[in-house]
């Protein structure tokens, strides 16, 4: 398998540190609100990477953190008049729900920054002892960026250029730093903020040190793959490399994978532009399998544009695969012959060609767009070669191959048993009543319940319309 390594700026053959095992760390979200569709892209992409590696026989130790102490979390907690832990716990639960709805597998470990403070204090002290960090008068601990000679090797930035022209990228508080490029490892508490005791001051960790410590604890000092959005290359991942390699004296990660940005109608997503969508927003209009299909329909390193038209196209593409499997199930229920009929074994043998095309695409730096094209070719082949006269053995072979390849992409293409039309109408009536009573929470529950059963509701002037997805 070839992986594009941000560190070397080229595709490289993937060779794990330990044969048959993969140690993979993916930066998770800061939990102060519902996750947005920009957060969803790395979750879906790297979950698919994990699934493919497991398909190839690797044992994958997949770690993805939750940043549960941060300025944004504290701000939200102050606004609501609650502890920051209340905010982080609430949105971790909401995030896990959205991940499950997108069929993102739970990580082997989902560490929380607040539960790993001891390891952070240890690593910071090691960096101080080795001369890579220093304590300012107010107890802030800074990393001596110039002490790490390879700083900039991931982002391919030059230290002198950063010093000269990019002050806006640097952490504030330059008056007490030895060098304006130095970044925070530990900072003093402010009034009303959560804090921990340390040898330097009562305070909390900087963002970068959190991931270095969590990666080390759950995966070891050297890992195979570190991944995340391209917005994390600098300064977050660059700083992780500097502090991890300075502390441990070893290569931090062999391969660095980064997904490109997601735009909305060719514009950057922002609340001020009114084009900001959470995953939960999308779930009100679409099965989140459609969102997953959409995310995988482009190469992960290509910028991806989100629009209503492209989501409709993704919905149609996803439904083509689902319809094929539904048809196979119908034919299986009514098939007369059990074993292969004459000529059918030769047809079944051709299924391997489509799997080979799929694997070839995925082996080429996780090219999910071409992999999905291979699934479409397989669907066309199946539709052309099955009929009411086909044997169960052929139909099962066809279905198993489509389901297997779709599952590697995390796409659920075999829908559960349907819901009766009368049951749909009853639930819609209950939802309408709940809305009249202004019980909007119950109304939302009913909408979600129907969506989970493959039914989408549309509120129109003529009343509520519904359809299967």
Beta bridge partners of 60: 22
Model confidence pLDDT, tens digit, residues 377-422: 999 999 999 999 999 999 999 999 999 999 999 999 997 656 666 7
The pLDDT score that the predictor gives to residue 287 is 92
Decide: 292 and 48 in contact? Cβ < 8 Å. Answer: no
The pLDDT score that the predictor gives to residue 24 is 98
Pairing mode of beta strands 21-26, 59-64: parallel
CA angle 18/22/25 to nearest 5° reads 130
Tally of CB atoms within 10 A around 293: 28
The pLDDT score that the predictor gives to residue 168 is 43
* Whole-number Å distance between alpha carbons of 186 and 206: 5
| b/e burial code for range 145-160 (CB count within 10 A of at least 16 → b) | bebbeebbebbebeee
* Whole-number Å distance between alpha carbons of 162 and 282: 39
Q: Domain 13-259 belongs to what architecture?
A: 3-Layer(aba) Sandwich (3.40)
* Nearest to 158, CA basis, from 351, 333, 237, 149: 149
Classify residue 392 as exposed, middle or buried by CB count within 10 Å of its CB (0-12, 13-18, 19+).
middle
The pLDDT score that the predictor gives to residue 178 is 95
* Whole-number Å distance between alpha carbons of 22 and 61: 6
Q: What is the pTM of this model?
A: 0.88
Its CATH class, for the domain covering 312-408, is mainly alpha
Model confidence pLDDT, tens digit, residues 320-341: 999 999 999 999 999 999 999 9
* Whole-number Å distance between alpha carbons of 105 and 91: 18
The pLDDT score that the predictor gives to residue 169 is 44
- Which region, left, alpha or beta, applies to residue 4 given φ > 0 means left and ψ of -120 to 50 means alpha? beta
Q: Kindly report the backbone phi and psi dihedral angles of residue 452, in degrees, each rounded to the nearest multiple of 5, phi listed first.
A: -60, -25
Stretches where the chain sits below pLDDT 70 are 164-174, 416-421, 468-469
* Whole-number Å distance between alpha carbons of 432 and 443: 7
């Amino acid at each position: 398998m070839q992986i594009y390594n941000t560190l070397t700026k080229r595709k490289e053959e993937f060779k794990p540190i330990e044969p048959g095992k993969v140690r993979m760390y993916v930066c998770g979200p800061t939990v102060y609100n519902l996750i947005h569709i920009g957060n969803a892209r790395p979750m879906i992409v790297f979950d698919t990477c994990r699934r493919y590696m497991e398909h190839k026989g690797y044992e994958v130790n997949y770690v993805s953190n939750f940043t549960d102490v941060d300025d944004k979390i504290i701000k939200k907690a102050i606004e609501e008049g609650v502890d920051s832990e209340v905010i982080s716990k609430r949105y971790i639960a909401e995030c896990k729900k959205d991940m499950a709805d997108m069929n993102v597998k739970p990580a082997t470990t989902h560490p929380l920054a607040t539960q790993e403070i001891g390891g952070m204090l240890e690593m910071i002290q090691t960096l101080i002892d080795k001369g890579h960090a220093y304590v300012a008068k107010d107890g802030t601990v800074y990393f001596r960026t110039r002490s790490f000679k390879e700083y900039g090797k991931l982002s391919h930035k030059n230290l002198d250029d950063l010093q000269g022209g990019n002050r806006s990228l640097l952490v504030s508080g330059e008056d007490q730093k030895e060098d304006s490029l130095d970044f925070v490892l530990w900072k003093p508490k402010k009034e009303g903020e959560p804090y921990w005791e340390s040898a330097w001051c009562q305070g909390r960790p900087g963002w970068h040190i959190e991931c270095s410590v969590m990666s080390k604890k759950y995966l070891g000092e050297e890992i195979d793959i570190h991944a995340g959005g391209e917005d994390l290359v600098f300064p977050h991942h660059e700083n992780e490399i500097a502090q991890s390699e300075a502390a441990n004296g070893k290569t931090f990660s062999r391969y660095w994978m980064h997904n490109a940005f997601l735009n909305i109608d060719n514009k950057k997503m922002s609340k001020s532009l009114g084009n900001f969508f959470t995953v939960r927003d999308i779930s009100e209009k679409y099965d989140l399998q459609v969102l997953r299909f959409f995310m995988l329909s482009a190469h992960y390193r290509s910028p991806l544009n989100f629009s209503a038209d492209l989501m409709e196209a993704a919905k149609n593409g996803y439904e083509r695969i689902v319809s094929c499997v539904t048809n196979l199930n119908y034919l299986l229920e009514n098939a007369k012959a059990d074993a292969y009929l004459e000529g059918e074994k030769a047809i079944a043998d051709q299924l391997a060609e489509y799997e080979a095309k799929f694997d070839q695409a995925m082996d080429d730096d996780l090219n999910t767009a071409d992999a999905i094209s291979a699934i479409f070719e397989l669907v066309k082949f199946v539709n052309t070669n099955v009929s009411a006269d086909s044997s169960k053995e052929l139909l099962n072979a066809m279905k198993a191959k489509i389901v297997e390849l779709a599952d590697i992409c995390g796409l659920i293409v075999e829908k559960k048993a349907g819901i009766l039309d009368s049951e749909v109408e009853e639930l819609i009536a209950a939802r309408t009543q709940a809305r009249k009573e202004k019980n909007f929470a119950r109304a939302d529950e009913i909408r979600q319940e129907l969506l989970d059963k493959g039914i989408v509701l549309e509120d129109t002037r003529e009343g509520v319309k519904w359809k299967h997805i």
